[in-house]
Amino acid sequence: MDLSIKYLGYTLKNPIIVGSSGLTNSVDKIKKLEANNAGAVVLKSLFEEQIISQATQEATDYMYPEAYDYVKEYSKSFSIDRYLKLIETARKEVKIPVIASINARSNGDWVDFAKRVESAGSHGIELNVSILPTDEKMTCKDVEQIHLKILENVKKQISIPISVKISSYSSGLSNLVQQIAWSKTVESIVMFNRFYNPDIDINKMEVTVSNVFSSAEDLMPSLRWIAMLAEKYKSTSFVASTGVYTGEDAIKQILVGADAVQVVSAIYKHGEGYIGTILNQIKDWMKAKKFHSITDFKGKMSLSKQVNQNVFERVQFMKYYGNVE
C-alpha cells in the first residue's frame, strides 16, 4: 500500500500530521512521533499575545524606563530564541517535515519573526489566524482583510511554504477561501482551528475551561466544507483538523478531497502508538476496496461526484426527522 502524499512541496510517508499541541513542544516528543510513523509534525504554536504578555509582565518589575525596555526586549528574545532552537534541533534529529506554527490575531511586529523561523530550518509555517468576531464594529470584510494582509506580509518575508489554519467563524467562508486561494500566498488551508471554549462551574460560580479535547462529532464541519471547496481550488491543499480519531475518519476526509489530516486528541488519549492503529485501519480499508494508493480514492466523494449535491449543502433536518415522534 502506498500511503505517501504530497504536502507543502514535500513527500510525506502518510497523511497523518500531528497538529500543533503539547505533543510537539520538544525534540524528544517529536522523535517518538516519528518513530511511530507520523507523516509530519506542526510545532506547538508561538502565540503573538503570549510573547507580548510575558515580556510586559516581566518588565513591570523594573522601575526605570531603560530597565523596563531592556527586560521587555530580552524576554521577547528569550521566548523566540527558545522556539528557534526547537526548530534547529528537530531538523537535525528527525527526518519528517517539521512545520513551525504561529498563532496570530493581528498583522503586527510578529510578521518579522517568520524570517527567523525560515533561517532556523523550518520546512514551512502554519499560520493559525484566530479571530473571534466579537467586535460589533468589525465587519466580515474587515476579518477577511486581516487574513489576507497577514498572509501577504508573511509571504514577502519568506520563501518556505505557508499553510493557514482558519476558523469556521466567517459569514462568507467560501468567499474567504476563494480569496486566500486566489491570492497565491499559501500552499495549504487547514480547516478548522479549535478555539478555547469557556464553561461554567455552577457550584463555585466560576468560569472554567470546557473539554480541551475534540470529539468525534467535530469531524463534520470540516468534512462538509472540504467536500464543497477542495475541488474548486486544486492548486491549494486542504487539510482536515479536529475530530479525527480513527482511520475511518481520515478516510472520510480524504474521500471528500483532503490531502491530509491533523490528529491531536486521539494521540493524547491513546499514546503515540495509536498512529499505527490509524494507519493500519486505512490500509485494511484500502485492501478491501482494492485501492493501492491515497490518490486512488482522494476526492471520490466530493460535492461534484454526488448525483444529489444537496447532501453537503443541506442545513435543515426536516427531511430526516419529520416523522420522529
Nearest-angstrom CA–CA distance, 111 and 95: 27
Q: Tell whether the model's pLDDT for residue 197 goes beyond 90.
A: no
First-to-final CA distance of the chain: 47
pLDDT at residue number 65:
54
pLDDT of residue 158: 96
Number of folded domains that form the chain: 1
* Angle, alpha carbons 294-179-225 (nearest 5°): 45
Say how far apart CA 249 and CA 267 lie, in whole Å.
Answer: 14
**78 upstream amide cis, omega within 30 of 0:** no
Are 100 and 125 in contact by the 8 Å Cβ rule? The answer is yes
- What's the whole-number mean pLDDT along residues 147-175? 92
The more confident residue out of 69 and 150 is: 150
pLDDT grade for 138, boundaries at 50, 70 and 90: confident
pTM, to two decimals = 0.88
The pLDDT, as a whole number, for residue 61 is: 54
pLDDT of the residue at 195: 74
How far apart, in Å, are the Cα atoms of 218 and each of 193, 222, 247? 11, 8, 15
Give me the mean pLDDT over the 304-320 stretch. 64
- The predicted-structure confidence for 17-44, as pLDDT tens digits, reads as follows 999 999 999 999 999 999 999 999 999 9
Q: Which residues pair with 7 in a beta bridge?
A: 10
pLDDT digits (tens, 9 = 90+) for 199-247: 898 999 998 877 778 888 899 999 999 999 999 999 999 999 999 999 9
Instruction: Give me the phi and psi of 293, to 5 degrees please.
Output: -150, 165
Confidence of residue 63 (pLDDT cuts 50, 70, 90): very low
Confidence of residue 96 (pLDDT cuts 50, 70, 90): very high
Give the integer Cα–Cα distance in Å for 32 and 52: 32
Distances, alpha carbon 65 to alpha carbons 54, 55, 124, 245, in Å = 17, 14, 38, 51
Q: Which stretches does DSSP call E strand in the chain? A: 5-7, 10-12, 16-18, 40-42, 46-47, 98-104, 124-129, 162-166, 188-191, 198-201, 206-209, 237-241, 260-263
pLDDT number for residue 253? 98
Beta-carbon-side half-sphere exposure of residue 6 (alpha carbons within 13 Å): 8
| pLDDT more than 70, % of the chain | 85
Q: What is the mean pLDDT of residues 106-125?
A: 87
Mean pLDDT of the chain: 87
Can you give the length of the chain in residues?
325
Residue 16, all three cell numbers = 497523518
CATH of the domain at 241: 3.20.20.70
Query: How far is the C-alpha of 186 from the C-alpha of 156, rounded, in Å?
Result: 12
At 38 the pLDDT is: 98
Q: Is the pLDDT of residue 307 over 70?
A: no
- Mean pLDDT over 253-271 rounds to 97
Range of the domain at 277: 5-321
pLDDT over 90 (residue 176): yes
Report the pLDDT value the prediction gives residue 72, as an integer from 0 to 100.
Answer: 59
Highest mean pLDDT among 100-104, 111-115, 292-296: 292-296
- Determine the Cα–Cα distance for residues 293 and 219; give it in Å rounded to an integer: 23
